[in-house]
Structure 1
Amino acid sequence: MDNNMETFFANLESKDKPLQYEAYSNIMEATEEQIDWGYEVWDQLKDDLTHRDNHRRSRAAQFLASLAKSDPAKRMLEDFPAVWEVTKDPKFVTASHSLQAIWKVGLAGPEQKKMVVDHLIDRFLNCEDEKNHTLIRNDIVYAIYVMK
């Protein structure tokens, strides 16, 4: 990982909100393409999925979803349940941001796509008792649409 990317990850912890957002945006932009440094941050991101700070949980889920296409070892097949849990976070905005990014896992290959689609279908069919289930279903429809 180059120094700029290390700085972006460090800036996620800044008290300066615009600096945090800039770092987040730069990381998301970098992970639009395949990268070779994903495993350098993978374990920390996986740990952050259960962090007490909902912003860290949300970012971790979004980053891991984006890194799935840069996962030749297919770690996401094993780690997906932890990422999926963030889509059910008690903080709705955290859950929503995670759910809106989960489709990116499906871009990693046919196994990952099937796994994501199966989870999305199950959630769509069984989320009626969840708060904001209409919004959840809307995010699911969008996710399936962009993966096709």
Structure 2
Amino acid sequence: MKKLLELRQQKTDLTQQMRSLLTRAEDEKRSLTTDEAKQFDDLRSQSDVLNAEIARYEALSDEERNQVKNQTANEKLSNDELRNYILTGETRSLSTGVPVDGGYTVIPELNKQIIQQLADESVTLSSRLHSNPAYTSAIDAFTGLSASVV
């Protein structure tokens, strides 16, 4: 891509040089001199060479883009694969129990402090803790706190 940009910049420079030759002749209300005409033709031939080279690089770039599109189309999940993924879910090694498997994602002491603060500030959570023994035991198991503390 860098080469393509450089070629386009060179083509722009050549076009500006050709334009300046013609503008100078028009401002002086004359046609191009033989030297100017020769210089213009040289610039034009260089521009044609650059056009051909730019076309080659653009064709290559288009081909590379098409290959990427075809690869992504071929790699789409089938309905069965997607259904299996949705039903079973993807298992990841991010558990809070084993330090090696991501157990340091939430520091246990910090987790207890956060749950405690939320329980103190939340009327709904406090009422659930006192009214639902199953929920209370689940919170106790999770936080290591007892309902009496909350």
Which of structures 1 and 2 has the larger relative contact order (alpha carbons within 8 angstroms, sep 6+)?
1
Q: Shorter-chain TM-score: what band?
A: under 0.3
Larger radius of gyration: 2
TM-score (ref. length: structure 2): 0.26
TM-score (ref. length: structure 1): 0.27
